[in-house]
Amino acid sequence: MAKDDKQCLELVERKFLELSGVKEVISYDEASVNLETNLGSLLIKGEKLNIKKLNLKEGKLLVSGKVSQLIYDQKSKLNWFKKLFR
């Protein structure tokens, strides 16, 4: 795995989510944060979500609120898997 492909995710008491490997914030509101990461798309769902810190140069993000779901885009994994067996 290349250094740029690393991603670290820390969720503390479902109230604070710290994430590295963030490339872009596509959209966000109090109910969801939609991201593009170096491992594919990630959707964070919850209540009263707020982006506390964002540094795209370093690829870091800090979200506060009540995190209920972290959903990685399965399409990116399937596309990678298909390319492997061509």
Hey, what CATH class is 3-84 in? mainly beta
pTM: 0.80
Cβ neighbours of residue 22 under 8 Å, at least 6 residues apart? 35, 36, 37, 54, 56, 59, 60, 61
DSSP state of 15: T
- Amino acid sitting at position 67: V
Extract the tokens encoding 34. 């939609």
- Rounded to 5 degrees, φ, ψ at 21 are 85, 20
Per-residue pLDDT, 74: 62
Domain ranges of the chain: 3-84
pLDDT in tens, the chain (86 residues): 455 678 899 999 999 999 999 999 999 999 999 999 998 899 999 999 999 999 999 999 999 999 999 999 866 555 555 555 65
Torsion sign (Cα): 12, 42, 1, 85: positive
